[in-house]
């Protein structure tokens, strides 16, 4: 099924590993020219570029902190200058700093909101202008099942993911008249480096809560994102799409 992404310019934040890398690879397979961001792991970034190019796709990487408003705007401006447009933004970059409310540090709260919420806002703001100029755009935020359900020890993280829901619905209303959609993809329990550190006891409990009986794969998220970025999803906007095997309905 052709998703109509050939020659579209896409920016994926946090695309050097895990779900972000899978999203970047998926968009490239559909014909988009993908630029992804990273903050520190140069080797992983270059490995992702090489993998996409080896598969016949087009990719590049930019190193900057999404939580830096000036850096985010400069990166988008530079990409538009290089490619002539920006059609797709996937805000995937995020951090998870867990801890019980009574023990949570102010500096951790500031950091998690700076990256997960402010970073998404900065990039959406920067990307909206070239998308409006093209009169075509797709913005996808990566939420989380805990943004829908809450979770012990994740008050701050869940708050940031819930914030993306409200941000995205507002963007959808603001930008729909310019043929720009905005949606959230909320993953459940997905097998990545981040979830590999979870204890066996917690893994067993989480799997018991999933009707599908298994954890998801990064490709499950990437396929959903690719569809939402396509012309076939032109009438889907302001939605939170849960990809979690039935863990939350």
9-35: pLDDT as tens digits? 999 999 999 999 999 999 999 999 999
Q: pLDDT grade, residue 6 (50/70/90)?
A: very high
pLDDT digits (tens, 9 = 90+) for 147-193: 999 999 999 999 999 999 999 999 999 999 999 999 999 999 998 87
User: What value does the mean pLDDT of the chain take?
Assistant: 96
pLDDT of res. 200: 84
For the question of residue 157 being annotated catalytic, the response is: yes
Q: Name the pLDDT band for 203 (thresholds 50, 70, 90).
A: confident
User: 51's torsion region: left (phi>0), alpha (psi -120 to 50) or beta?
Assistant: alpha
Catalytic residue (choose from 38, 104, 122, 157): 157
Gap between the Cα atoms of 89 and 58, Å rounded: 16
- For domain 9-241, say whether CATH 3.40.50.300 is its number: no
Query: What is the mean predicted confidence (pLDDT) over 207-229?
Result: 96
**What is the rounded distance in angstroms from the CA atom of residue 49 to the CA atom of residue 44?**
9
CB 138 within 8 A of CB 89: yes
pTM: 0.95
**Domain range summary for the chain, segments of one domain joined by +:** 9-241
Q: What is the pLDDT of residues 99-157, one digit of tens each?
A: 999 999 999 999 999 999 999 999 999 999 999 999 999 999 999 999 999 999 999 99
Predicted local confidence at residue 167, as pLDDT: 98
pLDDT at 194 exceeding the cut of 80: no
**Given a cut of 80, is residue 72 above it in pLDDT?**
yes
């Amino acid at each position: 099924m052709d998703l109509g992404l050939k020659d579209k310019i896409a920016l994926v934040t946090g695309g050097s590993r895990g779900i972000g890398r899978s999203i970047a690879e998926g968009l490239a397979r559909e014909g988009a020219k993908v630029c992804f961001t990273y903050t520190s792991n140069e080797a992983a970034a270059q490995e992702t570029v090489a993998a996409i190019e080896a598969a016949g796709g087009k990719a590049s990487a930019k190193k900057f902190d999404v939580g830096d408003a000036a850096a985010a705007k400069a990166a988008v401006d530079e990409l538009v200058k290089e490619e002539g447009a920006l059609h797709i933004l996937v805000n995937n970059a995020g951090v998870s700093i867990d801890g019980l409310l009574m023990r949570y540090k102010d500096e951790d709260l500031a950091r998690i909101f700076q990256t997960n919420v402010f970073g998404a806002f900065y990039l959406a703001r920067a990307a909206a202008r070239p998308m409006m100029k093209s009169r075509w755009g797709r913005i996808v935020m990566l939420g989380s099942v805990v943004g829908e359900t809450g979770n012990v020890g994740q008050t701050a993280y869940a708050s940031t993911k819930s914030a993306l829901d409200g941000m995205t619905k507002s963007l959808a209303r603001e930008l729909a008249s310019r043929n720009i959609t905005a949606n959230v993809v909320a993953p459940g329990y997905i097998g990545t480096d981040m979830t590999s550190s979870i204890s066996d006891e917690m893994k067993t409990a989480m799997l018991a809560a999933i009707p599908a009986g298994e954890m998801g794969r990064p490709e499950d998220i990437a396929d959903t994102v690719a569809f939402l970025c396509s012309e076939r999803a032109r009438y889907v906007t302001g939605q939170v799409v849960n990809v979690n095997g039935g863990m939350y309905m």
